[in-house]
Structure 1
Amino acid sequence: MGALANINEQLSNEVHNLLAYVERLRKELAGTILEEENKTPFESMSSTLDAIATSTLEASETILGASEEIANLSDSLREKLEDEEAIALCDQIAAKSMESMEACSFQDLTGQRVSKVIRSLQFVEERVDAMVALCGHDTIRQLSEEAAAEIPEPEDVQMHGPQAAGDAISQAEIDALFD
């Protein structure tokens, strides 16, 4: 009977450890899906990175467009000039414009890398969603709310980087704060 009692105790300990592990997994999952404004951190990260990539692309396109226009204006001005020094200045303007356009080529590489990170975050998000479904969405939501209640309120103003279209406040709204 002693051997059977020992096996039962070991089995009981293993089941207890397994249950404790599952509960810890649930709490960790709850911590990873704390929602802020109806978005999980993964959704927030991927949408923030997507907004950064979009903003970078838009800025690069604006810079490229302006640089091309400067080069064209410089060419037009050069045609009307006879002074060699003025023509040389137009050449320098065109050269600097070209440097600006070349410097914008970083955007393509940056965009590719950010897209790869976004896909990785979305993959992790899908795996977390699958684990949440496995552990029970209601249980995870309740644990998530409990974990959120334990997080102290930040004392500093949070700065948010580039926002997804529709999420950001407009420049007019910012200006209105100062009126």
Structure 2
Amino acid sequence: MDEQKEIKVVIGADNYNNNPGWIHTQEEELNLLDKTTWENQFTKGSITAILAEHVWEHLTYQEGTEAAKLCYQYLKSQGYIRCAVPDGYFLDEAYQNIVKIGGPGPKDHPAASHKIVYNYKTLSSIFETAGFEVNFLEYCDEKGRFHCSDWQEEDGVIFRSKKCDPRNQGDNLTFPSLIIDATKR
């Protein structure tokens, strides 16, 4: 039986290469809101995994929902998006000042400031609306308590995580992310 090659895509990879063997893309190549950029590179139902680390917060809630729906079309059955965003329930004033709406954003791309600050409820809502089943990997609840599931780096490395970021080792949580796996049903 001929096995198809797995297609794994990193959205908004910047200059990071935390996921060797994955296709690393920039917004100009693969735009979450432009179906033509998807049609030019992939066939619907062909992608095994999509990773988006600190990308979705640069979209409005409506744009985030539309992006999730577009990704859904290109994922295989049981394919997934591993999505990480700043966590709106992390109780640290300095962190919240950095991640706030309209906050600093990248110095070399000021138009890319944050348009939304998610919590686990709002982020899961976007992906559930698009048809995904959501599994929480790392997140803070309404009281700021941090929750973490065991997740595998080979399924997509999220650098800004409890698991991988040296700033977050031991009992020190400095820059966490809200991380989910959203699986196509």
TM-score range, shorter chain: under 0.3
TM-score, scaled to structure 1:
0.22
Larger RCO: Structure 1 or Structure 2 (Cα < 8 Å, ≥ 6 residues apart)? 1
Larger Rg: 1
- Structure with greater proportional helix content: 1
- Structure with greater proportional strand content: 2
